[in-house]
Amino acid sequence: AARLVSIGQQMTTWSGELGLEHHGGGVHLDLDHLTVTLGTGKDAVSLSRIGSAGNWIAYHVVAHLALHRYFVRQNRPVPRILILDQPSQAWYPAAAGEDDQQESLLDRQASEELFALIHSAVRELAPDFQVIVCDHVNLPAPWFQESIVQNWRNGGRLVPQEWID
C-alpha cells in the first residue's frame, strides 16, 4: 500500500501538470480492478467513467511513467523501457477539418504537454530508462526534434524493403 501511495502521488502531480479531468482529487492505481481511479471529492471514479480519449491516453501514460519511475528509483528488476504507439492519436484524429483550427491549437498544446512530460521523465531517469514512441506527430519544439532518432517519412520505413525482398 505504501508503494502505491508513492506512485499515486506522482500520478496526481503529473495529471495536475497536464490539467487532466479530476486530477485534483487524487489519482491512484486500483489493483483489484486493474485500472486508474480518480478521486472526485465525493467518491472514486474509474478511468472508464470519465472524459475523452485524451484523458484516457494521458492517464495511461502517466500511470506507466509513474510505475517506471518507482521501479528505477527502487532499483527493481523490471525492464527499463516503455514503448508507446501513437499517444497523440486522441488529439489528431484522421478527419480534422479547416473549421477545427482553434481546437487543433488546443489539441497540439495537449499533445505537446504529454510529450514534454515523457521527455522530462526520461531525462530525470536517464540513463536508466528509455521510451520509444512511434507516432505521426512532428512537433517543432527543439527538445522534440532533438529526441527524434529515426524519421520514417518520405519512403523510410520501420521494416526496410530490402528485408522484405
pLDDT tens sequence across 62-107: 999 999 999 999 999 999 999 999 999 888 765 444 445 555 777 8
Does 77 sit behind a cis peptide bond, omega within 30 degrees of 0 on the bond before it? no
How many C-beta atoms surround the C-beta of residue 62 within 10 A? 26
- Quick check: helix, strand or coil at residue 86? coil
The SS3 assignment for 148 reads: coil
Separation of alpha carbons 113 and 99, rounded Å? 23
- Is the model's pLDDT at 32 over the cut of 60? yes
The model's pTM is: 0.86
